[in-house]
Amino acid sequence: MTESAVWPARSRMRPLGGDQTTIHDGFWAERLRVNRERTIPHGLGQLRRAGTLDNLRLAAGAAAGDYRADADSGGAVLPFLDSDVYKWLEAVGWAGDDGLRAAADEVIAVVAAAQRPDGYVNSFVQVVRDGRPYQDLAWGHELYCLGHLVQAGIAWHRALGDDRLLDIATRAVDHAYDALGEEGIDGHPEIEMALVELARVRGEPRYTEFAARMLDRRGHGRLGEGRFGPAYWQDHAPVRTATEVAGHAVRQLYLDCGAVDVAVERGDTELLDAVRRRWDDMVRTRRYLTGALGSRHRDEAFGDPYELPPDRAYAETCAAIASVMLAWRLLLATGEPAYADDIERAMFNGVLSGLSRSGTEFFYTNPLHRRTHRTYEPAGHGQRAPWQACACCPPNLMRLLSSWPHYLATGDETGLQIHQYATSTIRVGEAEIAVRTHYPWDGRVDVSVMRSPQRPWTLALRVPGWCAGATLAVAGQEPLPVAAGYAERTRVWAPGDRVTLDLPLPARCTEPDPRVDAVRGCVAFERGPIVYCVESADLPETVDVDDLRWDPAREVVAVPRPELGEEWVGLDVPVTGGGVASAIPYHAWANRGPGGMRVWLPR
Amino acid sequence: MTESAVWPARSRMRPLGGDQTTIHDGFWAERLRVNRERTIPHGLGQLRRAGTLDNLRLAAGAAAGDYRADADSGGAVLPFLDSDVYKWLEAVGWAGDDGLRAAADEVIAVVAAAQRPDGYVNSFVQVVRDGRPYQDLAWGHELYCLGHLVQAGIAWHRALGDDRLLDIATRAVDHAYDALGEEGIDGHPEIEMALVELARVRGEPRYTEFAARMLDRRGHGRLGEGRFGPAYWQDHAPVRTATEVAGHAVRQLYLDCGAVDVAVERGDTELLDAVRRRWDDMVRTRRYLTGALGSRHRDEAFGDPYELPPDRAYAETCAAIASVMLAWRLLLATGEPAYADDIERAMFNGVLSGLSRSGTEFFYTNPLHRRTHRTYEPAGHGQRAPWQACACCPPNLMRLLSSWPHYLATGDETGLQIHQYATSTIRVGEAEIAVRTHYPWDGRVDVSVMRSPQRPWTLALRVPGWCAGATLAVAGQEPLPVAAGYAERTRVWAPGDRVTLDLPLPARCTEPDPRVDAVRGCVAFERGPIVYCVESADLPETVDVDDLRWDPAREVVAVPRPELGEEWVGLDVPVTGGGVASAIPYHAWANRGPGGMRVWLPR
């Protein structure tokens, strides 16, 4: 068994290894295929084109010239570009594809060559600065980059048994430990979760203690005011006492990932409870319907409670990804199904919207409303781009999709829990099950037991919180109603046993919280885990998405949309004037040229 | 007669000189007194404290040390701080106060000392850069600062007959002319209107031609992409063909001020029409109810049409001020009363909100909604501040209020037009009138003729567009209904003649444009020119402004609010649950401690 990305020594639910779940077919199989065949290779090309690899070559003394900044950055030289290389390497690690693995050898060699004899590696500091490490912890992103190097090393170690990157990363961490073990925190959290995972891999608790000290140092104004005040980097209040998420969304969520990891490792329920409190508040007051997070452009920040403008949503792809990472940690720690619901909402909507159908273009921000009539914009604006000057999101999507099978299921002493539905095979110990489903387009999930030990164990299937009227039929018996949460059946399972979960998927008309000013008087449409939107591409030239008004007197009807994808389902939404507007899954918008789009339709 | 700030050779309406209008009493007299006695002196103290004056002393070689950046700027050294000094000087010029004038002598001496023998003066370039002028026209603000120097010089020349600053400014302009006459534009427009006014003062058309060439050079991508694309600095489309305002709001409005000035000077109706088209579109699609402009924080920009979030409104004080400057130029050029309505809306709401009642604290942004429950904020956030690191707004308020009497009335060959109502004396040639009113709290305006030539002339009184049921009574006759626009009466006026304009001021419930998503399902309340808001300070501790819902079944009632100000009128707005919420004039919010505030109330 190979370990997966998050591998606590103990937790309420136990993750499965990367080789214990295989997705064979259906929605996710197709997205994972595109990630492997298109997105990750495209990423390598872009790392070459943008100069990101060359920057490491400069650090290695293996090339000459200027440190490269992407042309789109307006000449700014960004200090965190190495992390894009590491996230790409992590994606290759979890993808388990021999062709990609071979292509990555060159990249690993570049990283190895860039590392100094003292273990330090950071192309920006080595090339653009004077080589003195840790001089600008607030903005320099050195430990942030290091954290991503560690996570790449762990992926290659766990999934491929290849320790080249892990050895590089460990030497680099030891360098940082010697310099900063007693003082210093990074303006951008990320190192904390990486250190805990490294402690798990290396059996070295001192890395966890290093992370724990960084968590406790934060929140006391050590990072200064910066441009946006101390809350921007979560330095305004201690991680144990802050009651609300604040500041830069990705930073907050990465910080809380590290906090859960430390809490689980040390049995620190106070710390875990602090993260859970923030999560609950965030979901209640600051999350978009699509699972997107962060409403402010200026500082990439969470807004105030209920400040959720659909048009000016920042909704960075990385923030939705970070929420999946954090919800997974909370699910493992607590076993509460709501976290799996949260993962599903983010993945099918706010995460996938970051990626084009082609797999080679990316959104950085994911608004829920784009007006048809726009003031002057540069060409390509509002469309996904092949890469970004600040290219954090593309390789983050790659590594998440590569590791997505990790998120399907967990095991514990009682049995097996299935959290996400895909046509797949899942193996735990002596048990093996096969899942067949056309989810998310169809709500039926068939589970067949292929192998089983000769003792009772519990099969738990998640019934999403949005679902009413779900039923479960076990081994040919009558279907019985099951409530949201985990539908559990305990028995001595035998090969050939079948369980059928039926999740009704009527179109749902969703009212916003009345405290969200920006969408008052509007409704959105959902079906199963999918949030829908109306897009110009489906409207006559003469109709503006912003002029549509929902007509509640008529029914919303689910309709096949085979031109969008096999089995895909759209919604026909009745609008005033007697017609209907064709709604498509939100994550699929902006694949048919520029235009307007709305998730929330006025009544 | 002294000329006022904008003094075209010919225009549809003719401005009056600064000594032709005097405000004696009432709302505006009080604001002007506070400006003179509190705000302008406070400004000098802040220019000293922040180091803005010292920076010019460094340029003069009269001091030693580092170029000063305000502590609030996070260490950033801003290139445009000289302009704060020049705007303050302009404010002193128009204020016509002997005490202030004496205090300004020191400041003028500092500017004079900083000017190089070749005429160039810019403390940032002289101290922080290598002294080579015009190396960074896109971001350097050199011509922007120069424009403000020119306007200060013109104020002192026209209002005080003191040419010290005008001579400094003219030498500096000649330096710029020699260097940039044939090429170059500034990333931040402002110099254009200053050059036209300098041409008027000096009788030198070449300055107008210089401005005209800069206008025509703009819009062809000369400034590059910058951080925010070419529309940010209006370099995406030529000034004659751009149909919509775009980018940084203050830049667009200052540019269009210069365009009107050039158009009027050269009889260029094509250019004038282009500005009018943009103005009309802006008022229709991009203006807040308060007259505020610019909805985006990220690039201080106009958003897309109808993108008008009340909470995240950027609504920079300077943008509202710039709109007053532009509307005044358009009013003079066209004689259309809607521009005077626009000035009134901006002044009573989005401009005045930038200033505390005390006169010594300032808002940079003027949102129309502040939630009670806020995520962590630094102390003082959401309250006006004594100064800002980027202190463009405070001295801009000072100069506008100092010159506010210029905006009351105009004269032309037919007679006198009164645009704004204040208890005042207005003199034109042989005519003199006295205006008495308690406007904006009461809608009655009494005009008495004090002197008059022995020939017929027309008295025109503006009836605001929001006003229904206005009446005009002339010389003891029966009041007659008058429509929005100018109510005109032509006769041979005699001393003692009285005209009474009655503007009914019922509370108005204002529905938003249905295309403004952010306030759908809400209404706002206005009375006369005043926009109202509900503020926490008027609510019981247990009631949150965000939980109030307007109850349309009951009447909104005007009530005296003497504790806010003599004669002030508030509104009691019925809310669900049987109570009322006390609404106060929007511009007066945030004078009673931190809390929530809403202009738009949900139904």
Residue pLDDT, tens place only, B371-422: 987 777 776 778 999 999 899 999 999 999 999 999 999 998 889 999 999 9
Cβ pair A517:B518 closer than 8 A = yes
Which of B312, B374, B511 to mutate to probe the A interface, most A CBs <10 Å? B312
Q: What integer is the mean pLDDT of A71-90?
A: 85
Cβ pair B311:A246 closer than 8 A = no
Cβ pair A304:B522 closer than 8 A = no
pLDDT tens digit sequence for B79-93: 999 999 999 999 999
Q: What integer is the mean pLDDT of A486-510?
A: 97
Nearest CA in chain B to A371: B304
> How many angstroms separate the Cα of B500 from the Cα of each of A77, A498, B446, B461?
66, 90, 5, 10
Instruction: Please say if the pLDDT value at position A73 is more than 60.
Output: no
Question: Residue A175's pLDDT is what?
Answer: 97
Q: Is B273 on the interface with A (CB under 8 A)?
A: no
pLDDT tens digit sequence for B276-313: 999 999 999 999 999 999 999 999 999 999 999 999 99
Please tell me the distance from the alpha carbon of residue B362 to that of residue B274, in angstroms, as a whole number: 33
Please tell me the distance from the alpha carbon of residue B162 to that of residue B167, in angstroms, as a whole number: 10
A417 φ/ψ sector (left φ>0, alpha ψ -120 to 50, else beta) = beta
Structure-token pair, residue B230: 């070419």
Question: Residue B9's pLDDT is what?
Answer: 85
Structure-token pair, residue A528: 């199963």
Q: Is B225 on the interface with A (CB under 8 A)?
A: yes
B78 φ/ψ sector (left φ>0, alpha ψ -120 to 50, else beta) = beta
> How many angstroms separate the Cα of B60 from the Cα of each of A139, A486, B9?
36, 76, 37
Annotate A173-209 with DSSP letters as a single string: HHHHHHHHTTS---SS--HHHHHHHHHHHHT-HHHHH
Question: Residue B102's pLDDT is what?
Answer: 92
Looking at residue B568, its amino acid is W
> Considering only CB atoms, which chain B residues are within 8 Å of A305?
371, 373, 375
Please tell me the distance from the alpha carbon of residue B421 to that of residue B530, in angstroms, as a whole number: 13
Specify the range with the lowest mean pLDDT, choosing from A393-397, B225-229, B362-366: B225-229
Question: Residue B75's pLDDT is what?
Answer: 61
In eight-state DSSP terms, residue A397 is: H
pLDDT tens digit sequence for B368-383: 999 987 777 776 778 9
Instruction: Please say if the pLDDT value at position A182 is more than 80.
Output: yes
Question: Residue A475's pLDDT is what?
Answer: 82
Question: Residue B373's pLDDT is what?
Answer: 79
Question: Residue B70's pLDDT is what?
Answer: 65
Cβ pair B375:A231 closer than 8 A = yes
| DSSP run (H or E) holding A525 | strand A522-527
Structure-token pair, residue A118: 């003292």
Comparing CB atoms, the residue among A304, A312, A373 nearest residue B375 is A304
| DSSP run (H or E) holding A337 | helix A337-345
- CB contacts under 8 A, B 332-391 vs A, are 369, 371, 373-378
- In angstroms, the separation between the Cα of residue B437 and the nearest Cα of chain A is 39
Structure-token pair, residue B531: 């926009």
| DSSP run (H or E) holding B54 | helix B52-59
| DSSP run (H or E) holding A148 | helix A142-160
Q: Is B522 on the interface with A (CB under 8 A)?
A: yes
Asked whether B585 and B531 are in contact (CB, 8 A), the reply is: yes
Instruction: Please say if the pLDDT value at position B74 is more than 90.
Output: no
Please tell me the distance from the alpha carbon of residue A352 to that of residue A366, in angstroms, as a whole number: 10
Cβ pair B371:A518 closer than 8 A = no
Instruction: Please say if the pLDDT value at position A292 is more than 90.
Output: yes
Question: Residue B96's pLDDT is what?
Answer: 87
Cβ pair B297:A302 closer than 8 A = no
Tell me what the pLDDT averaged over chain B comes to. Answer: 95
Nearest CA in chain B to A297: B298
Asked whether B18 and B96 are in contact (CB, 8 A), the reply is: yes
Q: Is B453 on the interface with A (CB under 8 A)?
A: no
Cβ pair A296:B310 closer than 8 A = no
Question: Residue B594's pLDDT is what?
Answer: 87
Structure-token pair, residue B272: 């004038």
Edge-to-edge strand list for the sheet holding A21-25: A21-25, A423-428, A431-437, A444-451, A498-502, A471-474, A480-481
- In angstroms, the separation between the Cα of residue B59 and the nearest Cα of chain A is 28
The torsion angles phi and psi of B96, rounded to 5 degrees, stand at 60, 40
Question: Residue A75's pLDDT is what?
Answer: 61
Angle at A538 between CA B305 and CA A507, to 5 degrees: 100
Question: Residue A476's pLDDT is what?
Answer: 84
> How many angstroms separate the Cα of B433 from the Cα of each of B6, B59, B407, B418, B463?
23, 49, 16, 10, 18
Q: What integer is the mean pLDDT of B436-446?
A: 98
> Considering only CB atoms, which chain B residues are within 8 Å of A242?
376
Cβ pair A546:B306 closer than 8 A = yes
Cβ pair A303:B375 closer than 8 A = yes
Q: Is B513 on the interface with A (CB under 8 A)?
A: no
| DSSP run (H or E) holding B584 | strand B580-585
Question: Residue B382's pLDDT is what?
Answer: 82
Instruction: Please say if the pLDDT value at position B314 is more than 80.
Output: yes
Question: Residue A72's pLDDT is what?
Answer: 57
Nearest to A298 by CA among A245, A226, A384: A226
A415: β partners: A412, A458
Q: Tell me how many residue pairs between chain A and chain B have CB atoms under 8 A apart.
A: 117
Instruction: Please say if the pLDDT value at position B148 is more than 70.
Output: yes
Comparing CB atoms, the residue among A230, A371, A518 nearest residue B518 is A518
Comparing CB atoms, the residue among A305, A376, A602 nearest residue B246 is A376
Beta-carbon neighbour count of residue B505 at 10 Å?
21
Comparing CB atoms, the residue among A227, A303, A520 nearest residue B602 is A520
Cβ pair A244:B376 closer than 8 A = yes
Q: What integer is the mean pLDDT of A123-145?
A: 95
The alpha carbons of chain B give a radius of gyration, in whole angstroms, of 24
Model confidence band, residue B237 (pLDDT cutoffs 50, 70, 90): very high
Instruction: Please say if the pLDDT value at position A381 is more than 60.
Output: yes
Beta-carbon neighbour count of residue B567 at 10 Å?
15
Q: Is B310 on the interface with A (CB under 8 A)?
A: yes
Question: Residue B222's pLDDT is what?
Answer: 93
> Considering only CB atoms, which chain B residues are within 8 Å of A244?
375-376
Specify the range with the lowest mean pLDDT, choosing from A10-14, A70-74, B213-217: A70-74
pLDDT tens digit sequence for A565-592: 989 999 999 999 999 999 999 999 999 9
**E-strand spans in A305-430?**
369-370, 409-412, 415-418, 423-428
| DSSP run (H or E) holding B437 | strand B431-437
Q: What integer is the mean pLDDT of B434-457?
A: 97
Q: Is B297 on the interface with A (CB under 8 A)?
A: yes
Edge-to-edge strand list for the sheet holding B498-502: B21-25, B423-428, B431-437, B444-451, B498-502, B471-474, B480-481
Instruction: Please say if the pLDDT value at position B168 is more than 60.
Output: yes
Instruction: Please say if the pLDDT value at position B555 is more than 60.
Output: yes
Q: b/e per residue, A548-564, with b = 16+ CB within 10 A?
A: bbbbeeeebebeebeeb
> Considering only CB atoms, which chain B residues are within 8 Å of A70?
none
Tell me what the pLDDT averaged over chain A comes to. Answer: 95
Instruction: Please say if the pLDDT value at position B483 is more than 70.
Output: yes
Model confidence band, residue A158 (pLDDT cutoffs 50, 70, 90): very high
Give me the numbers of helices (H) and strands (E) for chain B, helices first please: 15, 21
**Longest C-alpha distance within chain B, in Å?**
73
Instruction: Please say if the pLDDT value at position A76 is more than 80.
Output: no
Beta-carbon neighbour count of residue A292 at 10 Å?
32
Asked if the peptide bond before residue A440 counts as cis, ω within 30 degrees of 0, the response is yes
Comparing CB atoms, the residue among A302, A312, A377 nearest residue B375 is A302
pLDDT tens digit sequence for B118-133: 999 999 999 999 999 9
> Considering only CB atoms, which chain B residues are within 8 Å of A373?
304-305
Question: Residue A74's pLDDT is what?
Answer: 59
Nearest CA in chain A to B242: A376
Model confidence band, residue A68 (pLDDT cutoffs 50, 70, 90): confident
Question: Residue A179's pLDDT is what?
Answer: 95
Question: Residue A413's pLDDT is what?
Answer: 81
> How many angstroms separate the Cα of B127 from the Cα of each of B123, B188, B239?
6, 21, 34
Q: What integer is the mean pLDDT of A552-571?
A: 96
Nearest to A366 by CA among A603, A47, A588, A39: A588
Q: What integer is the mean pLDDT of B187-195?
A: 98
- In angstroms, the separation between the Cα of residue A543 and the nearest Cα of chain B is 14
Instruction: Please say if the pLDDT value at position A226 is more than 90.
Output: no
